[in-house]
Structure 1
Amino acid sequence: MKSVAVFCGSRDGKAPEYLEGAEIVGKELAKRNITLVYGAASVGMMGAVADAVLENGGRAIGVMPEFLKRKEVVHPDLSELIIVDSMHERKAKMADLADGFIALPGGPGTLEEFFEIYTWAQLGLHEKPCGFLNIHRYYDPLVQLFRHMLDQQFLDEKFRNLAMVDDTITGLLDQFQAFQPPSVNMNLKEDQT
């Protein structure tokens, strides 16, 4: 694994554990020589993970749509900044650059980015690992929702396991290393997504 896309908030979050967790992620990515691919901002969780990567000798690639350059503060020290025309292009570019995808705490945008990538995995459009880093138990309600989707038969077990969950970045990256993608049957009558 040479690069990981990290989806996360442009805010700090309420608890100090969120930013602390983002910094730990950045340090671990740099330690493992894994390039960070993210949304290019210098604020919130996004800024914290990028700062930690760069401060520890790692590489950070930011991907930002042109229109967001006026709303978000672009990180000034990125290894590489890629400007695209739209949010769709941003997600596609991040998907191309990354060997795996991690969601840290964030809001609706974070979830939207993650779930598009997760859905692409269900459809067999990529075979890259996806996971939630459950910092300060942030994703506990979402883990519960996945169980509910399974119980209500709106999600197949093999696809549930596409969304890995761990409380530590080391544990999640170790899961990524061991990841074996499931076979995908595109006949929706047999393989309901």
Structure 2
Amino acid sequence: MASPVSHIIYAKKYLEKHPMNKADEEMFFLGCLFPDIRRIDPKISRKETHLFFPDLNLDANGLDSFHFGWKFHLYCDMKREEILNRKNFYSLKNTKDFWGISAKSLEESLIYSEYNNWEKLINFLNNAPFIETSINVSRETFGLWYAILAKYFEKKPDQKSVRIFLAKQPALSEINRDIVRSMDKLGKNGKVIEILSRVKDEII
């Protein structure tokens, strides 16, 4: 799995090779960020958001841009784990801490500058159109999730912003400081930094 900033960078890499018009690109980004909405609503299960598509590939046939973005998110989660396992990433100290969340947060801080249209994306997310899905997601939860992401994207993730972002997620709110401390430890490991910095270049 990856974190929000990383998913945007992965999406950017895809769009460089497969350009879309502005409207489709916005919906694609919206879909890329959708599956982790479960983080703020315990009533939404991971099965609903992450096992939605029977086949994880880059085939967009029959899908609108939002649903293809959703599928792309799941594909990237799968590919990221394949890449990290191939590089024996999880054999390195502390990389498995907190279900890998510390490493995901560190990755975000390393690659944030790869995308240069954050202001435009933030404005869109703050006014995100509600999308009906087969999952029971309320308009309030939908809007809140994208507003939280918009705030998080305002600057390169650092210890404070990561802690605040994690604190808004019920399952992580009480351990957000521990995760950030673990992230700091990982950031002192050159091999960890080297591997995480390169995932984006191999994901597509």
**Band of TM-score, shorter chain:** under 0.3
Q: TM-score, normalised by structure 2?
A: 0.25
Larger RCO (CA under 8 A, 6+ residues apart): 2
Q: TM-score, normalised by structure 1?
A: 0.26
Bigger share in helix:
2
Answer 1 or 2: which has greater strand percent.
1
